[in-house]
């Protein structure tokens, strides 16, 4: 009897502690709590000047409780109120059954919320698989170059996008883009970006002209507060490179012969922030060419073993536990340390450095980069 009771308690303890780690508890206390706080307080009234600390704390607790209530559906809100009343009456009337009924209702509501979350998680996983299908499964060989890529999203789906497009004249377009924000909204815009680029490359392969066309296509489709940063490089088999960017992070170029790194940063405004050209001769056409005038096309030549690294801001803005950013200096040093290495080795080293730097800290932004090395 004693052994059976002990085994039952052991099984019960194992049920509650299965998969639990100190990192999981730390995540609950810090990251999850911070995320919950951000979610609920964004619609709270602002603090009133002159209030005492006690009043502020009481008001905050009340506003937090109200913010939680309004997120429930009306029916669940009613059942939650019934449960609170039953638990309160149990203390007043010293009636254990009322407390039991209240707890059962609360667990019922918790089970419903958990089911909703699991269904949403499954849908997000499905969306993630669709988004991953947009990225190239394997980068096809590019004449005169070797390429390697990496992408990791901060949420289930994200707003980073990259692609490698072969052109009829033998040149290749390498694209990397970042839609502002994270989640499903950003991921849906990446689908639009891919569709637009595949359509526009039939008309032009000039990176600057592609960005102008992309802005015309997306400007009226992007919701307010959304924008797209993007870099496009065109690789020619003879080593020539044409490079334009629209608000994106500067590319990093390693010149192997001199063993020095430099930043490539032609000017350009992010997609969706400036209106496209209204049309030649159209009304106010001059004032509607802000985006086109902001763009620059940089032309240079890569020599053997030269390397270009294209990346999104999630790479340099990765933070460790003391909120220090990885930064461009560490990225440059890492590229210098891997001079002469194959692109696969450069990719693995950068992924290793980023993970080691974060030291368990979760991603705050999607992280994507492409390494291009001149081989001919």
pLDDT of 2 over the 60 cut: yes
Q: What number of H helices and E strands is found in the chain? A: 12, 10
pLDDT digits 0-9 by tens, 99-153? 999 999 999 999 998 888 877 777 667 666 766 666 776 777 889 999 999 998 8
User: How many angstroms separate the CA atoms of 371 and 134, rounded?
Assistant: 19
CB 164 within 8 A of CB 140: yes
Please tell me which of 154-158, 159-163, 238-242, 316-320 the model is most confident about, judged by mean pLDDT: 238-242
User: How many angstroms separate the CA atoms of 296 and 267, rounded?
Assistant: 5
Q: Which residues of 243-262 are buried (b: 16+ CB within 10 A; e: fewer)?
A: bbbbbbbebbbbebeeeebe
pLDDT digits 0-9 by tens, 14-23? 766 676 676 6
Averaged over 53-64, what is the pLDDT? 83
Tokens of 350: 């950068």
pLDDT digits 0-9 by tens, 264-316? 999 999 998 888 765 444 444 444 578 888 999 999 999 999 999 999 999 99
pLDDT of residue 250: 96
Q: Which range (135-144, 157-166, 237-246) has the least confidence?
A: 135-144
> What is the distance, to the nearest Å, from the Cα of residue 173 to the centroid of all Cα atoms in its chain?
23
Output the pTM of the full model: 0.72
16: β partners: none
């Amino acid at each position: 009897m004693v052994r059976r009771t002990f085994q039952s308690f052991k099984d019960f303890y194992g049920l509650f502690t299965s998969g639990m780690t100190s990192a999981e508890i730390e995540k609950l206390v810090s990251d999850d709590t911070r995320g919950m706080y951000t979610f609920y307080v964004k619609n709270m009234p602002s603090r009133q000047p002159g209030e005492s600390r006690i009043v502020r704390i009481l008001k905050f607790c009340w506003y937090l409780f109200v913010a939680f209530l309004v997120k429930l559906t009306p029916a669940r809100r009613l059942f939650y109120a019934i449960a609170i009343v039953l638990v309160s009456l149990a203390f007043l009337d010293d009636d254990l059954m009322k407390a039991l009924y209240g707890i059962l209702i609360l667990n019922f509501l918790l089970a419903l919320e958990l089911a909703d979350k699991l269904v949403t998680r499954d849908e997000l996983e499905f969306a993630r698989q669709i988004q991953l299908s947009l990225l190239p499964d394997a980068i096809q060989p590019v004449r005169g170059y070797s390429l390697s890529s990496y992408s990791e999203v901060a949420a289930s789906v994200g707003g980073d996008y990259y692609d490698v497009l072969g052109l009829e004249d033998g040149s290749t377009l390498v694209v990397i883009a970042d839609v502002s924000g994270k989640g499903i909204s950003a991921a849906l815009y990446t689908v639009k970006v891919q569709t637009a680029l595949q359509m526009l490359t039939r008309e032009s392969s000039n990176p600057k002209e592609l960005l102008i066309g992309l802005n015309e296509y997306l400007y009226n489709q992007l919701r307010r507060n959304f924008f797209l940063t993007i870099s496009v490089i065109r690789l020619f088999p003879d080593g020539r490179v044409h490079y334009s960017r629209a608000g994106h992070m500067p590319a990093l170029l390693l010149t192997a012969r001199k063993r020095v790194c430099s930043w490539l940063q032609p000017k350009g405004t992010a997609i969706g922030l400036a209106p496209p050209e209204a049309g030649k001769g159209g009304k106010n056409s001059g004032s509607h060419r802000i985006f086109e005038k902001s763009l620059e096309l940089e032309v240079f030549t890569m020599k053997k073993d030269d390397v270009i690294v294209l990346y999104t801001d999630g790479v340099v803005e990765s933070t460790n536990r003391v909120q220090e950013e990885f930064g461009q200096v560490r990225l440059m040093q890492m590229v210098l340390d891997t001079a002469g290495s194959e692109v696969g080795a450069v990719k693995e080293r950068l992924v290793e450095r980023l993970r080691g730097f974060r030291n368990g800290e979760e991603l705050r932004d999607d992280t994507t980069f492409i390494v291009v090395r001149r081989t001919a």
